[in-house]
């Protein structure tokens, strides 16, 4: 999930109860977050190598697993990689343990048996927080780069494009970027179109739309959240702009891409079935 990279294991489900593991995995596979790749382990000993090798987005585990040591397993995961989200998956009677886990910095809990709405709520919150963190870190890196490396006066348009790529999720104006590269707005506008082949505003809008398409494909974040995190002032303006450029509304695009993915996922299964007939 981080930085757009996909792991072979996005969600690790650790539970000695096979039925409980398969229940959670089934909810993921048939719901909003079916793009997340789930892996199972029936013990902490089997789970730790997976954590170390794949750095999953979420580890969902039952602290009653015999070799988990209660919250100790979760603490080991956080020590190994603080960016991994640890979510407790337990019976109601273990609520006090869950309360302690939240106080110790774990990322959530789900009571057995898990229902889809609760699973979606927890995963949606974690994905949204990760997205905000990534954007915040990008802004911090851009600020440091701006302080350490002044704009390249010999290549003002390259500097402007680099600035767009770092700040697309923020309000950006032509005048702001022109000042950044020490050109007047009118001259910068003409130079940008001459070198890039499109206007500054059109380039910025297209870049934001490309970023939003990626989020629509690989997350189930609400349209409003995607709009806010790709530089659009509101979801209505985002939807209007998206349809003008892409030819579909964001919701229609997401549904289309989801259907294409399901079709491509089904094709290998159909081929295997044909091979065995």
pLDDT of residue 105: 81
- Percentage of the chain modeled with pLDDT above 70: 80
pLDDT of residue 258: 80
Rg (CA), the chain: 23
Q: Where are the domains of the chain?
A: 2-126, 133-256
The CATH architecture annotation of domain 133-256 reads: Orthogonal Bundle (1.10)
pLDDT digits (tens, 9 = 90+) for 143-167: 455 444 455 556 899 999 999 988 8
Band of pLDDT at residue 277, cut at 50, 70 and 90: low
Q: Residues 10, 4: contact at Cβ < 8 Å?
A: no
Band of pLDDT at residue 20, cut at 50, 70 and 90: very high
Higher pLDDT, 93 or 177: 177
pLDDT digits (tens, 9 = 90+) for 159-216: 999 999 888 988 999 999 999 999 999 999 999 999 999 999 999 999 999 989 988 8
Residue 263 has pLDDT above 90, yes or no: no
CATH of domain 2-126: 3.40.50.2300
- Please give the model's pTM, rounded to 2 decimal places: 0.54
Collect all residues with Cβ–Cβ distance below 8 Å to 101 and sequence separation of at least 6.
Answer: 63, 71, 74, 86, 88, 109
């Amino acid at each position: 999930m981080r930085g757009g990279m996909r792991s072979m294991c996005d969600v690790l489900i650790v539970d000695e109860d096979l039925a409980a593991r398969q229940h959670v995995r089934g909810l993921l596979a048939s719901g909003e977050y079916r793009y997340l790749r789930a892996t199972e382990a029936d013990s902490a000993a089997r789970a730790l190598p997976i954590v170390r090798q794949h750095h999953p987005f979420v580890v969902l585990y039952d602290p009653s697993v015999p070799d988990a040591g209660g919250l100790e397993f979760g603490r080991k995961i956080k020590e190994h990689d603080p960016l991994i989200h640890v979510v407790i998956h337990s019976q109601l009677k273990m609520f006090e343990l869950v309360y302690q886990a939240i106080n110790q910095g774990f990322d959530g809990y789900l009571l057995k048996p898990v229902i889809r709405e609760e699973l979606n709520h927890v995963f949606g919150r974690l994905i949204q927080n990760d997205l905000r963190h990534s954007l915040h870190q990008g802004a911090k890196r851009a600020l440091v780069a701006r302080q350490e490396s002044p704009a390249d006066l010999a290549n003002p348009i390259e500097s402007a494009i680099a600035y767009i790529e770092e700040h697309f999720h923020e309000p950006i104006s032509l005048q702001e970027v022109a000042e950044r590269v020490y050109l007047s707005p009118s001259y910068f506008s003409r130079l940008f179109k001459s070198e890039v082949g499109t206007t500054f505003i059109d380039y910025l809008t297209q870049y934001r739309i490309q970023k939003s398409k990626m989020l629509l494909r690989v997350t189930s974040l609400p349209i409003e959240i995607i709009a806010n995190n790709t530089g659009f002032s509101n979801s209505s303006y985002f939807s209007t702009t998206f349809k003008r450029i892409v030819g579909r509304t964001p919701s229609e695009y997401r549904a289309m891409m989801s259907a294409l993915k399901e079709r491509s996922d089904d094709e290998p299964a159909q081929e295997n079935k044909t091979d065995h007939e």
